[in-house]
Structure 1
Amino acid sequence: MSTAEATTASLLVGELTDGVVVLTINRPDARNAIDLGTARAISRTFDLLDSDPACRVIVLTGAGGHFSAGMDLKAFRATGERPVDERRGAFGLVREPPHTPLIAAVEGAAVGGGFEIALACDLIVAAEDAVFGLPEVQRGLTAAGGGLLRLPSRIPYHLAMEAVLTGRRLSATWCAEQGLVNRIAPPGAVLDTALELAMEISRNGPLAVKASKRVVIESGNWSAQEAFARQEVIVDPVRHSADAREGASAFAEKRAPRWTGS
């Protein structure tokens, strides 16, 4: 991946280190609200990273102490612009997140579309004082960027319904207690904690990680009768891969595996 190609003023792409890359939404003056240009940059960058075999985990964060306020309301009021990428949907990811594992590193607020972005990620690391929420109903709107679809499958139904219908803010501690947040970190230490988690993932076989993510996501739509057959289509190529042989050899030889992604 060419960092220079992917980087824009509103989305910073870090160097790929040990299979992990950090994407930073860089609009701190707007609390990292997403405009159409940023949504398209996010989508385009995910395309590049998904096609790069060296990239094993993506960490998404925000600049200036906030994750994201969601849609750029100033742009919407001025021109009616909505941050919807043609293929990946709102904010450049909620309809089609990347195939590569994606971790949200949340400092400050992840509300409205910002919460929907976090919900589209595979894992969430949050600061102790971070806040989440879907306040759209308080403004006469609905959370149409995946919040109404994803939240009820992540926490108990009645708690999700209360959060949606009241629009109240949710503390990081409460979210962690409900299993919505993977790890809590002190303010200012969220990115380091997310990178530790990303490195733990990146040490595993990349083919196996991507296939496992795909099964977890897609199996929600499978019937019990077809589930194992459909899973086999995804996992069997991994079983016959060079990485699978390397994993077995590394275990027998008591050494770290040398993955090739093939």
Structure 2
Amino acid sequence: MTRNIRVERRGAVLEVTLDRPKANAIDMATSREMGETFLAFRDDPELRVAIVTAAGEKFFCPGWDLKAGEAADADYGPGGFAGLQELPRLNKPVIAAVNGICCGGGLELAMSADIILAADHATFALPEIRSGTVADAASVKLPKRIPYHIAMELLLTGRWFDTSEALGWGLINRAVPSADLMTQARAMADQLASGPPLVFAALKEIVREAEDMKFQDAMNRITRSQFETVERLYTSEDQKEGALAFAENRDPVWKGR
């Protein structure tokens, strides 16, 4: 346990719980703790999937702690704000389990995950405009995730929206009863943890790097194994195991090598 987050290993799954009463706002120390935690997750070969969530049922995270009196442009630690959104080479799946109010940098944290599950009472907003600041990461990410005009409305007005809107736009994967949130998040994490880690790594690198590439340029890099993770995959024991298991009509045994 660290000061502001709780970290639990459950087999190949790492659960990171933001626990900073009253609202789980993130100050500099918390951001650095989260960064060190996700950096360790990235580099631990025994860990395959992470879940990020928060304590309580009211707040997931309101983002930056404005009451901490710290400069907003100081050192957030590894991975940038909240440890995820700028962490390089994070080639493992991350699930956000949003348990309540999710706004500002908290929504940016959730969007840094690969899959977002939300309690059905969760609410969302990007209210930075009301305090004269810019939701910087959301300004980059949101128009790529949901329709442009909806993203701009949310950024320009800072208005609140609920899980039904978020689900309708495809911003979250699933809205579930609060009591079932962690059960479903853990079930999904276990499913991913049993999957092929080298394939997941290749998928994450391709999606990340190809975002700003022309289609053919990205395809050329894939077919020429110019992505490090793709090259590793196609020369791995797991690739041979996958083909053999398919031929033998059995479940493959993934070793991550």
TM-score (structure 1 length as normaliser): 0.90
1:15 partner SS: strand
C-alpha displacement of 1:239: 1.9
1:206 corresponds to which residue? 197
Structure 1 residue 22 corresponds to structure 2 residue 12: no
Q: Using a 3 Å threshold, how does the CA distance of structure 1 residues 82 and 28 change in structure 2: closer, same or farther?
A: farther
Structure 2 spans left out of the alignment, 5+ residues: none
Distance 1:80 1:226 in 2: 40
Distance 2:241 2:134 in 1: 49
1:199 partner SS: helix
Distance 1:157 1:211 in 2: 28
Please point out which of 241, 246, 262 is paired with 2:241. 246
1:122 corresponds to which residue? 114
Distance 2:76 2:241 in 1: 39
Task: Name the % identity.
Answer: 39
Query: Which stretch has the larger CA shift, 67-76 or 84-93?
Result: 84-93
C-alpha displacement of 1:223: 2.2
1:179 corresponds to which residue? 170
2:123 corresponds to which residue? 131
Please point out which of 161, 165, 170 is paired with 2:161. 170
1:176 partner SS: helix
TM alignment of 1:212-231, pairs within 5 A: 212-231=203-222
Q: Give the letter aligned to residue 9 of structure 1.
A: R
Distance 1:81 1:180 in 2: 26
2:201 partner SS: helix
Structure 1 residue 69 corresponds to structure 2 residue 59: no
Q: Give the letter aligned to residue 12 of structure 1.
A: R
Please point out which of 19, 23, 26 is paired with 1:34. 26
Q: Give the letter aligned to residue 41 of structure 1.
A: E
1:189 partner SS: helix
C-alpha displacement of 1:84: 4.3
1:193 partner SS: helix
Q: Give the letter aligned to residue 102 of structure 1.
A: V
Structure 1 spans left out of the alignment, 5+ residues: 1-6
Query: Which stretch has the larger CA shift, 111-120 or 216-225?
Result: 216-225
Contact 2:19–2:54 under 8 Å retained in 1: yes
2:117 partner SS: strand
Distance 1:89 1:113 in 2: 11
1:88 partner SS: coil
Alignment RMSD (CA, Å): 1.7
Q: Give the letter aligned to residue 252 of structure 1.
A: A
Distance 1:118 1:255 in 2: 36
C-alpha displacement of 1:233: 1.9
Residues 100-130 of structure 1 deviation map (CA, whole Å, 9 limit, x = unaligned): 2111100111101100101111110001111
2:253 corresponds to which residue? 258
C-alpha displacement of 1:256: 2.7
Distance 1:170 1:55 in 2: 34
2:50 partner SS: strand
Structure 1 residue 93 corresponds to structure 2 residue 84: yes
TM-score (structure 2 length as normaliser): 0.92
C-alpha displacement of 1:255: 3.0
Structure 1 residue 109 corresponds to structure 2 residue 101: yes
Structure 1 residue 53 corresponds to structure 2 residue 45: yes
Q: Give the letter aligned to residue 61 of structure 1.
A: T
C-alpha displacement of 1:82: 5.7
1:191 partner SS: helix
Q: Give the letter aligned to residue 219 of structure 2.
A: F
C-alpha displacement of 1:237: 2.6
Aligned residue pairs: how many? 251
Distance 1:99 1:85 in 2: 21
2:5 corresponds to which residue? 11
Query: Which stretch has the larger CA shift, 34-43 or 96-105?
Result: 96-105
1:4 corresponds to which residue? none
